[in-house]
Each structure stands twice: as structure tokens, then as C-alpha cells.
Copies of this chain bind each other. A is one copy, B any other.
């Protein structure tokens, strides 16, 4: 009801404010006997953490997570897994200036109106810091998916108006190596260089810029997704739209599909050399009628530019009067390089959840 949980079988509940004692997550419904590789979890968190490079915010958080329960002798036991990530580098003083004024295009105003109270420090609960808890939970989900042979691979496919060409993912590990070879996490290195130049100039101007993340899920078995409301792509869409700053989601042919004709859009069934049923094209994005069909699942996520900019802006204060907000503090000029880990984590949560849901029918 209060919206801090996600998933039906593999269900996570996150907690924590940007400048409170800690953030964290409880995973309820993790299958037993998943081997928990803590280095892998930390590595996922490191991809999301602030302070990675000149194009991310300079807040320094080690984002070291601690597992409090649900794991015994290195394996999950089927009981709830609680993970806590302490907050460290909180410069709460930096936020004294917006205790009583509402930052434009942030959640300050609506939280105050909804609850009549808010923790204003660093955006409180509305801070994207909350997504670290999702990445930790997503890492556990990835470990479970890995045992099932399912892989997830996302990268930055556009920053501003710079679009990367389509990158084919035949090997996920090669794709990841290309992506991690540059600080903007675009798997096309030439485009990455352009993106870095752009982000850097935006940063110097005290401004921010949006971008897109593209994601592929490979080796997803046929049958995941529930017809009608809990279609696989509907849950993927909700998952992505729940990430801070996301303004759009499409899958398969996506928005472009709306200008196509059925005769070109239909994915003709075929049988490959191994006797496996495939479709010749994949405008369906691996999902038909809301259910995975065994092809690669493809989707895109659009991020608006970060609202925190380094220039002064008009706003209103608690009394409903015109005021001014000063541009200061630390900020991300472009979130998409850090968002890659979040998109993958949310995708892992959705796919594992639907994998487990589908076991009921088997």
C-alpha cells in the first residue's frame, strides 16, 4: 500500500533516507540454496555508487553492505535476507538552505503536501540514494538468475542527442567489457567518447543532461509473465518508471512501432538449426501477449536531466511565497552512467519474480 515493496514472490522492501543512519532492503521470498557471492554484490554496488569519475557526483560513499540474515554458510536459506548499507558522507549542512524552500522539479513540495512533514536533508526518502538498496537486492536476484542461465545486459545508448548505434550482444561478458571500458558505460567506445565530452561540458556549465539506457535480457525461458495486468513488459515498465528521473519506457519496436504496418511488424515464426522455435524478426521484443517467447527481451528507458543544477532558480517556500534557491552542493551532471546498474537490478528483480511465479503452473 505505501509503495516501498516490489515483486510478488521475490519481494523486496527498501528503507532509508539519504542522510539517515542507513539505507537497506529486506528480500522476502528468495529461493533457498542460492550461493551468495558478496564480492559480486559489492561490485554491482560499485557501479552505482557516487564519486566514480569526473562525470558523477563527488559525494563519497563506500556503499559497503552488510547481510544481517537469511544467509547461512554462504547460501540462502529461504528466509528473509536483510541488507544494510550505512550512510557515511552526509553533508547535511549543505541542505539547511532548502529546509523551508522547495527545489524546482524535485519531490520536496509534494512530500511536504502529502505527509505534512519531511526529512529535507539530501532529498530524504526521495533521494536516488534509495536505489543502492535496489542494486543490492538485484545482485542477489542476478546470482539466482545466473544459476538458471539467464543474463541481463544494459548500457547507455544515448546522452542528450548523441545516440549510440545498435550494439549486438552475442556475448554478455564481451559486451560488459566494452561498456566498462569507459566512464559513461556506453558499449560503443567511439560514441562513449562523444558522450563524455558532452557531459563534461554540461558539468562545467553547472547544468545537467538526460539520456537513455537500453537493456537486453538473454536466455529467458518461454512462459514468463502473467496475462492481462501483470504482463512481463508491464511489470518491467513499472519497475523502470519507478527509478528516479525516468520519464519513458518502451520495448521491442516501442514508440517506433506505432508508425509501422502489421505486415512489416509481425514476427514470422521459424525453426532454427537446433529445432528451437524462433521468430525471424523481433519487433515483439521477446514478449507476446505479455509472456516471454524465448527471444531476447529488449527495452529502453528514458531519463530526464537531473534537477539539481548549479545556478540560482526561483521557487516557493513553505509559506507559499516566491523565494530563491541557490545552486550549491554536489550533483550528477548526467545520471545514466550510474543508472545502468539500477536498470539491470530492476530487470533482474522482475525476471526472477516472474520466473518464480511461473513455477506455480509447472
Whether A202 contacts B4 by the Cβ 8 Å rule is: no
A292 to B109, CA, bound (A): 10
A226 touches B305 (CB 8 A): no
Shortest CB-to-CB span from A319 to chain B, Å, is 11
Q: Are B361 and A78 neighbours in the complex by a CB distance under 8 Å?
A: yes
Instruction: State which of B4, B8, B67, B228 has its C-beta within 8 Å of the C-beta of A125.
Output: B228
Taking CB atoms, residues of chain B closer than 8 Å to A124 are 72, 77, 79
Which stretch, A45-53, A180-188, A209-217, touches the partner chain B? A209-217
Contact B209 A260 (CB under 8 A): yes
Contacts of A208 in B (CB 8 A): 261-263
Which of A222, A247, A259, A362 gathers the greatest number of chain B CB atoms within 10 Å?
A247
Interface string of A70-110 (1 = CB under 8 A from B): 10100101111110100000000000000000101111011
Given contacts A68-B16, A110-B291, A110-B292, contact A249 B265 (CB under 8 A): no
Q: Check if A360 is an interface residue, CB within 8 A of chain B.
A: yes
Q: A160-B259, A258-B303 in contact; A20/B289 too (CB < 8 A)?
A: no
> What residues on B are CB-neighbors of A266 within 8 Å?
104-105, 307, 309, 313
A84's partner among B6, B68, B105, B229 (CB-CB below 8 A) is B68
Residues of A216-273 at the interface with B, using a CB-CB cut-off of 8 Å, are 222-223, 225-231, 233-235, 237-239, 241-242, 244, 247-255, 257-263, 265-271
Contact A72 B119 (CB under 8 A): yes
Contact with B along A272-316 (1 / 0, CB 8 A): 000101010001110011111100000000111111110101111
User: A9 — which chain B residues lie within 8 A by C-beta?
Assistant: 1-2, 360
Binding site for B on A (CB under 8 A): 1-6, 8-9, 11, 13-17, 20-24, 26, 28-29, 31-33, 66-70, 72, 75, 77-82, 84, 102, 104-107, 109-111, 113-119, 124-126, 130, 158, 160-161, 202, 207-212, 222-223, 225-231, 233-235, 237-239, 241-242, 244, 247-255, 257-263, 265-271, 275, 277, 279, 283-285, 288-293, 302-309, 311, 313-316, 320-322, 356-362
